[in-house]
Amino acid sequence: MDLFLQQIVSGFATGGIYACMALSVVMIYQAIHHLNFAQGEMATFSTFIAWQLLAWGLPYFAVIPLAIGLSFIGGFVVERVVFKPIENAPVLSHIVIFIALFAIFNSAMGFIWDFSIKPVPSAFGEGPLYEGSLLSKHQTGMIAVTMLVLVLLWAFFRFTRVGLAMRAAAANPQSARLVGIRVSFMTALGWGMASAIGAVAGILIAPVVFLEPNMMLSILLYGFAGAVLGGLTSPLGAVIGGFIVGIVENLAGTYIPVVGGELKLPIALFLIVVVLVVKPEGLLGRRVVQRV
């Protein structure tokens, strides 16, 4: 029973990372109705920036806003430079561009920071939260930050003019343009925010898995699984989905002997396929009806 509880709790903690990743996936999906396959590499890149700043001796409280801000600008610029020119191209072109970005970021990271793994200290300190606690300080921090990001996002979309404009631009680009919203600017803003959230996820997970250029590949897959499970149109769903994926992954790793500790990726594949087949709109998503 103790083991079971322990696994659920630590699944919940890793779930926080997947939830962050899923959130950034959903952000992009909301903005352009695409899944950004380079999201993980972009997040890893942000994490490397944070690591570099730390290595230069900046304190954590300065590094985090700086890394997140730079990531925001980076995402914004990538959209403006790479994606804007082919906005209206067929889906295949978009997917190819994502794959191209993936290759560029991955290779650039290997080039700049090489492929050796790097330990990253936790921003929340080491050790358990209190004596005998199931959660470590870092795990508690991860969950808290995920929740904070979700609340901030919700507030942003609910209470700010820009948030409203972004929702409008995503829901109905033509009408939004007619009421004076700069739709393509909103798309770029969505990219920036997604990449900032990705940076948060990267910085949170780096102390757990060690930093290297391929760090995020599997995490992105879990993020996708979480986003699909929760519904690609719903940020709250993405967070719930992320937590569920984390818990399922941990329990399966512990209790299904075939899976074992290391081979958990097929679970994400399985989850994605099952959800897409059985309930493509996810737990909380809206069903997208296409008019013909």
Partner 1 sequence: MATSETYAAGAAAAPKPFITAERVVYLLLFVGLVALPFFSKGFFVFQVTKLLIYAIAILGLNLLTGINGQFSLGHGAFYAVGAYTTAIMVEMMGVNYMLTLPVAGLICFVFGFLFGLPALRLDGIYLALATFALAIAMPQLLKLSPIEHLTGGVQGVIVFSETFDPDVPFGLPFDPGTWTYLFTLFVGVFLFWLARNIVASRTGRAMMAIRDNPIAARSMGVNVALYKTLAFGLSALFTGIAGALSAIAVKFVAPDSFTFALSIVLLVGLVVGGVGWLPGALIGATFIVFVPNFAEEISKGLSGAFFGFFLILVIYLAPQGAGGLLRAGVGRVKRLLASR
Residue 136 β-bridge partners: 128
Q: How far is the CB of 289 from partner 1 (least distance, A)?
A: 13
Token digits of residue 149: 């990001």
The answer to whether 29 and 281 have CB atoms below 8 angstroms apart is no
Q: Minimum distance from CB of 138 to partner 1 (Å)?
A: 26
* Tokens read off for 100: 């191209």
The residue within the footprint of partner 1, chosen from 178, 179, 258, 289 (CB under 8 A), is 258
The structure tokens 């519904």 sit at 231
Q: Which stretch binds partner 1 (CB under 8 A): 10-18, 103-111, 127-135, 163-171?
A: 103-111
User: Judged by CB under 8 A, does residue 225 bind partner 1?
Assistant: yes
102 binds partner 1 (CB under 8 A): yes
Minimum distance from residue 134 beta carbon to partner 1 (Å): 28
User: 215: closest CA among 36, 37, 42?
Assistant: 42
Nearest to 239 by CA among 174, 291, 182, 285: 285
Region 17-46 residues binding partner 1, contact defined as CB under 8 A: 33-35, 37
Q: Is 256 in the site for partner 1 (CB under 8 A)?
A: no
Give whichever of 33 and 182 is closer to partner 1, judged by the CB atom.
33
Q: How far is the CB of 10 from partner 1 (least distance, A)?
A: 20
266 lies in the binding site for partner 1 (CB under 8 A): yes
Question: How far is the C-alpha of 92 from the C-alpha of 11, rounded, in Å?
Answer: 35
For 90, left (φ over 0), alpha (ψ -120 to 50), or beta? beta
Number of residues located near partner 1, criterion CB under 8 A: 48
Please identify which residue in 20, 97, 123, 216 interacts with partner 1, judged by CB under 8 A.
97
CB of 163 to partner 1, least distance (A): 24
The DSSP secondary structure of 145-167, one letter per residue, reads HHHHHHHHHHHHHHH-HHHHHHH
When asked if residue 73 is in the footprint of partner 1 (CB under 8 A), the reply is no
Q: Does 210 bind partner 1 (CB under 8 A)?
A: no
Using an 8 Å Cβ cutoff, are 41 and 109 in contact?
Answer: yes
If the CB atoms of residues 20 and 228 are measured against partner 1, the closer one turns out to be 228
Instruction: Check residue 286 for interaction with partner 1 (CB under 8 A).
Output: no
The amino acid present at 31, given as its one-letter code, is A
Convert 49-59 to b/e letters by CB count within 10 Å (16 or more is b). Answer: bbbebbeeeee
Closest of 31, 61, 47 to residue 216, by C-alpha: 47
Q: Please give the single-letter amino acid code of residue 287.
A: R
Residue among 43, 78, 101, 165 that touches partner 1 (CB under 8 A): 101
Q: Which residues of this chain interact with partner 1, rule CB under 8 A?
A: 33-35, 37, 82, 85-86, 89-93, 95-97, 99-104, 106-108, 110-111, 217-218, 221, 224-225, 228, 257-258, 260, 262-266, 268-269, 272-273, 276-277, 280, 292
